[in-house]
Structure 1
Amino acid sequence: MTWQPHITVATLVEDNGRFLMVEELKGGRAVLNQPAGHLDPHETLTEAAVRETLEETGWDVEATGIVGIYLYTAPSNGVTYQRVCFTAKALKHHPDYQLDEGIIRARWLTRDELMALRDSWRSELIIRCIDDYLAGQRHSLELIRPSL
């Protein structure tokens, strides 16, 4: 068996204590996640984060930093994900943007509201990224080096 981690990105967009979240269908139920997804061929991690945020929320964002790099093995399927979590600034909302299949809607939620909805989290990475962000974990985008 070949073990292959999945490279993913997520974006934390904060506005006055509220975080841009995605409500999506996973396994037949509605779950909450940061805007997140897989790296596509020939794109940078930063480009992937900006693209995924638009596709899942209808928001144009500008990546401003990195909260952290996380390794997570999903208990539901045993798949290991390496997530690079970015911070970003909301630039413009496109309310009529056709969101990705499976996306129900974008929501702005406070940390307390998220804690009350814990049973709806897609994974524990949601709160870990937010708590790291709130603790001041911010790294320069220069942490990510372009390919040669």
Structure 2
Amino acid sequence: MSETQFKPHVTLACVVQAEDKFLMVEELIKGKPTLNQPAGHLEANETLLEGAQRELWEETGIIAAPQSLLQIYQWIAPDKTPFIRFTFSIDLPEIVATQPQDDDIERCLWLTYNEIIHAQNLRSPLVRQSLLRYQQTTRYPLSLLETFEWPENLLP
């Protein structure tokens, strides 16, 4: 019996809220404007939290640290690509200006919950699901994520 090894893409996303609005990024996917939370792939030699902060900065120009873990999703995209998505929450005291550093990001938008939930141009179903999850009160401490025997030269 032959088993196929499961090699998911590890992605990180931040649900960023300020003044009852949520920060979204708009990128062109196959020529169409598409909304997503600031998100991207974990890179080699970075922790999950470092990756989330890096993606937030690259896509929005905002420097902020995740405050809690919302959820970990295991998802198979329609094209059969497997993902493990770590979704974090960040609550800012006020809406801040954005300046995308990544050329793939067309612009950043502060949108209401309803605008996002009803949007027809979300990058994946996980965008809506993460926002629904944010509305619940449960938050998980970042201490659940630990680097184990991480090389000394890579410690934050």
Q: TM-score, normalised by structure 1?
A: 0.89
- State the distance in 2 between where 1:5 and 1:113 align: 30
User: Rg: which structure is higher?
Assistant: 2
- Structure 1 match to 2:74: 71
The answer on 1:107 being equivalent to 2:106 is no
Q: Give the ranges of 4+ consecutive aligned residues of structure 1 lying more than 6 Å apart after TM superposition.
A: none
The residue type paired with residue 44 of structure 1 is T
- State the distance in 2 between where 1:87 and 1:6 align: 20
Aligned residue pairs, count: 145
The answer on 1:43 being equivalent to 2:46 is yes
Kept after mapping to 2: 8 A contact 1:60/1:90 = no
Post-superposition offset of 1:3: 4.0
- State the distance in 2 between where 1:3 and 1:143 align: 23
Larger strand share, 1 or 2 = 1
1:1-148 to 2 correspondences below 5 Å:
3-75=6-78, 77-90=79-92, 95=98, 97=99, 99-117=101-119, 119-148=120-149
Q: TM-score, normalised by structure 2?
A: 0.85
The residue type paired with residue 54 of structure 1 is W
- State the distance in 1 between where 2:29 and 2:83 align: 16
Kept after mapping to 2: 8 A contact 1:58/1:93 = no
Identity of aligned residues (%): 36
The residue type paired with residue 56 of structure 1 is E
Q: CA RMSD in A?
A: 1.9
- State the distance in 2 between where 1:9 and 1:123 align: 14
User: Cα–Cα, structure 1 residues 2 and 54, in superposed 2: closer, same or farther, change >3 Å?
Assistant: same
Uncovered stretches (5+) of structure 1, i.e. residues with no partner? none
